[in-house]
Amino acid sequence: MNALFGVAMVHILVGFFVFITGLGLLRGGESLGINYGQVANNLPPPDKVLDLLQALKLTKARIYDSNPEVLSAFANSNIELIVTVENEMLASLTDPQQALQWVSTRIRPYFPATRITGIAVGNEVFTGEDNTLVASLVPAMVSIHAALVRLRLDQYVQVSTPNSLAVLAQSYPPSAGCFSSELNGIMPQLLQFLQSTNAPFWINAYPYFAYKDDPNRIPLDYVLFNPNSGMIDPYTKLHYDNMLYAQVDAVIFAIARLGFSGLEVRVSETGWPSKGDTDEIGATLENAASYNRNLMRRQFENEGTPLRPNMRLEIYVFALFNEDMKPGPTSERNYGLFQPDGTMAYNVGLLALSSASSASSTASSSASVSLTSSAPKVKLVGYQSFLYSTVLYLLALQILLRRQS
């Protein structure tokens, strides 16, 4: 009887540990993602970049190609990496054989040593002017996913495409969010693919652009996550205290209008330039520091949007470095958190964030606090291996008790 009672208790304990672990209550903090662009002639080599990411306790990054030097350098690290298929390659990858060859040479040789978790097929394809590119996007995604299936990598690597916020015809208020009518034919095909493969919808969202275009009507504090009265959606009555969350919820509503309400939306790019031309209003060091500091603070708390408050919004900040060879206005070359030599481009308040988080948790360093989300849960990281060991111990005890019974 005692042995049977012991077995029952072990079942209960194991079930409890699995249950709370499944809820995420015992997981260590997930890190804020970072976009690692390389349009520059003065960046450190990939192995040094890896050192920087690890020093910052970052575990998620995205690159804009499938650079073998980066993939090799990131091997046997804890960095989850999203690679990109450049826009000019999409047409050829609609051919399943070409897609299979691409995955076989660009992904398979590096996996699983390099933790490739996603393939971004193109970038902001729908808002360009190349109709051939638009027509090639979903077929290329289908072919790439089919290649992953054939190589048994599909359960590890998701396939999606980053979209500009300009895919929306309307974004205010969020509940009125809808896609441009020009995308009526192609957008449902993309959403169907994402739903069938359990992949997220990626959006590049920059409140900076909205403020720059209309600074007299859009409050700066609202776009910078600073304290402000915010706005209330007149239809849902949801309160928004920042523009980024409002933009994401507008995308969620647009997706739902096409019948795909279950899709997760992730922010594949967001950021703020620290320098700009004279007509680029708001592009200052102070504003860039405020935006990224406040964004990180929100990430520490595992926040969701008002529409999905219990689903953590995954965000990739743009960008890791200032990139001196990017074309366009001055702002394009000044989105980086860091200079190419690894020094901070501006102060995002690392010490202040460290002090604030240490009041409720133990942090290993100010750097880890600065770019790692869910700071209040950092103290749980040390317990994770202990909990798994406990589960294994309980399972062993269960087997022993069964033999005795």
Helices (H), 270-380: 285-300, 350-358, 366-371
Catalytic entry in 80, 124, 280, 323: 124
How far is it, in rounded angstroms, from Cα 356 to Cα 375? 10
* Contact present, 272 and 288 (Cβ < 8 Å): yes
**């495409």: which residue's tokens?**
161
Please report how the helices 2-22 and 381-404 are oriented relative to each other, as an axis angle in degrees rounded to 10: 150
Q: Which of 269, 280, 314, 323 is catalytic?
A: 269
Range list of β-strands (E), 165-321: 168-170, 178-179, 201-204, 231-232, 239-240, 265-270, 315-318
The torsion angles phi and psi of 388, rounded to 5 degrees, stand at: -65, -40
Q: Which residues contact 146 (CB under 8 A, 6 or more apart)?
A: 96, 99, 100
Helices (runs of H) and strands (runs of E) counted in the chain: 14, 13
> Is 301 a catalytic site residue?
no
**Catalytic annotation on 269?**
yes
Quote the CA–CA distance of 11 and 161 in Å, as a whole number: 43
- Residue 211's H or E segment, with its range, is helix 207-213
In whole angstroms, what is the distance from residue 122 CA to residue 94 CA? 12
Question: Can you tell me the distance from the alpha carbon of 224 to that of 201, in angstroms, rounded to the nearest whole number?
Answer: 24
For residue 99, is the peptide bond before it cis, meaning its omega torsion is within 30 degrees of 0?
A: no
Cα separation, 273 vs 39, whole angstroms:
16
- Residue spans of beta strands (DSSP E) within 96-211: 115-121, 158-160, 162-164, 168-170, 178-179, 201-204
Phi, psi of 334 (to 5 degrees): -140, 40
8 Å CB contact between 125 and 78: no
Residues in the chain: 405
- Residues labelled catalytic: 124, 269
